[in-house]
Amino acid sequence: MNRETGFRRDMLGEAVRDAFRKLNPRTQIKNPVMFVVFVGAILTSILLLRDCLQGITGSVFFSLQINLWLWFTVLFANFAEAVAEGRGKAQARALRETRTQTKAKKLAGASEIVLVDATQLKKDDLILIEAGDIIPSDGEVVEGMASVDESAVTGESAPVIREAGGDKSSVTGGTRVLSDWIRVKITANAGETFLDRMISLVEGAKRQKTPNEIALTILLVGLTIVFLIAVATLEPFAIYTGTTISVPVLLALLVCLIPTTIGGLLSSIGIAGMDRLLKRNVLAMSGRAVEAAGDVNVLLLDKTGTITLGNRMATDFFPAPGIGEAELADAAQLSSLADETPEGRSIVILAKQKYNLRERDLAALGAEFVPFTAQTRMSGINQQGQEIRKGSMDAIQNYVRQQGGIFPSEVNRTCAEIAKNGGTPLVVAAQDKVLGVIKLKDIVKGGIKERFRELRQMGIKTVMITGDNPLTAAAIAAEAGVDDFLAEATPEAKLAMIRQYQEQGLLVAMTGDGTNDAPALAQADVGVAMNSGTQAAKEAGNMVDLDSNPTKLIEVVEIGKQLLMTRGSLTTFSIANDIAKYFAIIPAMFMGTYPALGLFNIMQLATPESAILSAVIFNALIIVALIPLALRGVAYRPVGADVVLRNNLLVYGLGGLIIPFIGIKLIDWLLVILHLV
C-alpha cells in the first residue's frame, strides 16, 4: 500500500481544487465556526457589490481587501481539511488498484466448479483458490493450506501461511495465493469486504466526529456566540460616541475574535490522527477509537510475542549429581542437532558458546534423529546402541524407569526451582541415566521494561495475560515490569477482568487474534485485532493491525495521546490568539474617539483601518502556518497530565498571546509601506 507522507505537488493541487469544492453551504454548515466566516464573506461580497453599483468609491478598496481575506480564511480552512483528506485519498487509490475484475471458482456441488465474477459472490459461498489466483473476497479457509502474498493490503512483502482451523484461517480479498490450494467460505457480500471498508475509511468518507470533538465544537460555538454579542454591541456604542463603523469592519472584527484557528484545523487534526495510524499499518474503524486510545487507563497485553520474544531459549545447564556440566552440554547438543525448533537451536548455540562444542554431522556420527511426538513428549538421537533423550520431567521420568533407572531427587528439586522462577525445565537422559536439566526461559524483549515505565508515568496500568501457571506468570511479570498479570487466562476470565476495570470508570485496550479473543475485543474500549487472525476477531475489534504485531498496541496508545495533545495545544493557542487580537484591535479602532485608549495601542498600529486589515490577514495566514503542525501532530512525550497542561500554557498559551502582536505589527508595517491602507 502507498505510504506516501510528503506534500506532493499533485496532492496539493488537488487539495486546492477541493478547497473550492467545499464552499458548498451544506459542507460549510458542518463546521459552525467557519460557517460564520463563510456567511460573513458572502455578506461583505453583497455589500461590496452594492457599493460598486451605487458608485460609492470611498471605502471600496478597503472593503475589497477585507472581503478577499475573509474568503481566503474560509479557503485556507477548507485547504487544511483537504490536505489531510488528500493523503487518505492517495492511499485509497492505491488500494483500488488491487481490486481487479477477478474471476472466482465457485463450488456448486461436491466437485463441480463454476467460473463467476467476484462481484457475484455472496456470503457463505464456497470457492476454490489455487496457486496464482487472486483471492476474490474475504473469507475463512475451511480446507487446505497455502502461502499467500498479502502485500497489496499490508505492504509487507513476505508471504504468510493460511490454513484451515486455528487462528490463521482468515483471508482478505485482493491478496494472491502463491502456492498450493485452499477452499474458502466467503464471509462478506460484495461492497462489504475488508478492502471496501479500508477504502471508505482512509478516504474519510465515514469519519464521524468523536465525543471530544463534539464537546470542543460546542465550546467553540459558545465562544462564537459570546463574541457575536460583543461585536453586535459595538455598533450602538459607536453611534452613541459619534464613531462610524461599517458592516464589513464589524464582520472582520467578528471573524478575528471568534476561534477560527482551531475551528479551521479541528477536522484536519482528527483525519491526521487516523492517517498516522494508517502509516503504521493500523486501520482504525472510527475516529472514536483513535481518541479512546488516547484516554486509555489499562493495557491488556499477551505475554507471548508481545512481552516475550515468543520462543523459549536455553539459558543454563544444571547437571545431575556425579555428572559434569560439559558432559550434560555435549549430550544436550547431540540430542538437538537435528531439532529445528527455536528451543532446539538455542540448546546447540548455548553448548557451543559455553563449552566451545562445535556442531557435528549426524550422518557422520552414524546417528538417527528421533523427532518429538505428542505421545512421547521427547526427542533425541539413537547412536551406536545408545539412546539420548530430552523432554519434560514427567516424560523422562517414565522413560528412565522403563529403562530400569532411578530419577534423582536432586533433579526433581532443580526442575521445581526452575519452574518456580518462571522457566521451563527440559531433562536430558542417556538410557537409564539422568544427565541433568536444561533451563528454557521466555526471553523478555529488550527495552520493554522501559516502555512500561513510560506508560506508568502516563498513568496507564499494564496487565500481562498468559496461559502459564501463576508462579511462572509472576516471575515473568516481575522481570518485564508489568503492574499486574492474569495467569491461566480463559476467554471468560479476560472478559471479566475488562468489565471489572470498566466498572471502575477506566478505559481498557487489548489485542487479540483468535475467535476466543472476540468477546474481550468487543468489550474493550480499544480492541486491536491482528490481521492474521480470524474474521470474528477482526469484526469484534475497532482497529485492525495489518502487520499483526501485538506490540503495536503501545504505539496506538501513543498516537491517540498525540492526537489529544495536538488538539489541546492548538485549542490553547487559538483561544490565546483571540485574546491577543482583541487587545490589539479594539484600542486602535477607538483611540480616535477616546485618546486615552492610545495607551493600550502598544503596537502603535498606523490607523484603525490598518489594524482591522492586519488582523484579518494574520487570522487567515495563521491557519495555513499551522497546517503542518496539525497534520504532523505535537511532539509526544510520556509525561503526566500536569506537565502537559503546564507545557501547553507556557508554549502554546504564551505563544498564542505573543505571536499575534508580532504578526499583526509586521503586516501593518507592510500595508503602510505598500500604501494599501
> 365: Cβ–Cβ under 8 A, 6 or more apart, which residues?
334, 383
Q: What does each C-alpha distance from 74 to 24, 39, 394, 617, 624 come to in angstroms?
A: 11, 10, 75, 12, 11
Q: Is 233 left (phi over 0), alpha (psi -120 to 50) or beta?
A: alpha
- The secondary structure of residue 602, as a DSSP letter, is T
CB-CB contact of 585 with 579 (8 Å): no
Instruction: State the DSSP string of 548-583.
Output: --TTHHHHHHHHHHHHHHHHHHHHHHHHHHHHHHHH
Instruction: State the DSSP string of 307-359.
Output: TEEEEEEEEEEEEPTT--HHHHHHHHHHHHTT--SHHHHHHHHHHHHHH----
Placement of cell 489594524 in the chain: 611
Distance of CA 627 to the CA centre of its chain: 21
Placement of cell 481544487 in the chain: 17
The residue type at 295? D
Active-site residue, 484 included: no
Catalytic residue among 51, 133, 302, 442: 302
| C-alpha cell belonging to residue 139 | 473469507
Torsion of CA 287, 289, 292, 297, to 10 degrees: -160
CB-CB contact of 378 with 388 (8 Å): no
| C-alpha cell belonging to residue 503 | 466498572
Distance of CA 324 to the CA centre of its chain: 52
Angle at which helices 608-632 and 60-96 pack, to 10 degrees? 10
Angle at which helices 260-279 and 608-632 pack, to 10 degrees? 20
Q: How big is the CA angle at 263 (ends 260 and 267), to the nearest 5 degrees?
A: 150
CA–CA distance, 567 with 268 (Å, rounded to integer): 10
Does the annotation place 374 within a ligand binding site?
A: yes
First to last CA, the chain: 52
CA–CA distance, 105 with 109 (Å, rounded to integer): 12
Does the annotation place 372 within a ligand binding site?
A: yes
Does the annotation place 77 within a ligand binding site?
A: no
Does the annotation place 379 within a ligand binding site?
A: yes
CB-CB contact of 278 with 91 (8 Å): yes
CA–CA distance, 145 with 130 (Å, rounded to integer): 10
CB-CB contact of 613 with 584 (8 Å): no
The residue type at 52? C
Does the annotation place 343 within a ligand binding site?
A: yes
Does the annotation place 196 within a ligand binding site?
A: no
Does the annotation place 359 within a ligand binding site?
A: no
CB-CB contact of 439 with 460 (8 Å): no
Strand 282-284 versus strand 543-545 pairing type: antiparallel
CA–CA distance, 398 with 555 (Å, rounded to integer): 48
Return the closest-CA partner of residue 294 out of 671, 44, 644: 644
Distance of CA 77 to the CA centre of its chain: 25
> 96: Cβ–Cβ under 8 A, 6 or more apart, which residues?
199
Does the annotation place 117 within a ligand binding site?
A: no
CA–CA distance, 44 with 66 (Å, rounded to integer): 8
Run of H or E including 543: strand 543-545
The helix/strand/coil state of 276 is helix
Placement of cell 499499518 in the chain: 281
Does the annotation place 376 within a ligand binding site?
A: yes
Is the sign of the CA dihedral 16, 22, 24, 25 positive or negative? negative
Task: Enumerate the known binding-site residues for ATP.
Answer: 339, 343, 372-379, 390
Catalytic residues: 302
Q: Which residues are annotated as a binding site for Mg(2+)?
A: 513, 517
Binding residues: 339, 343, 372-379, 390, 513, 517
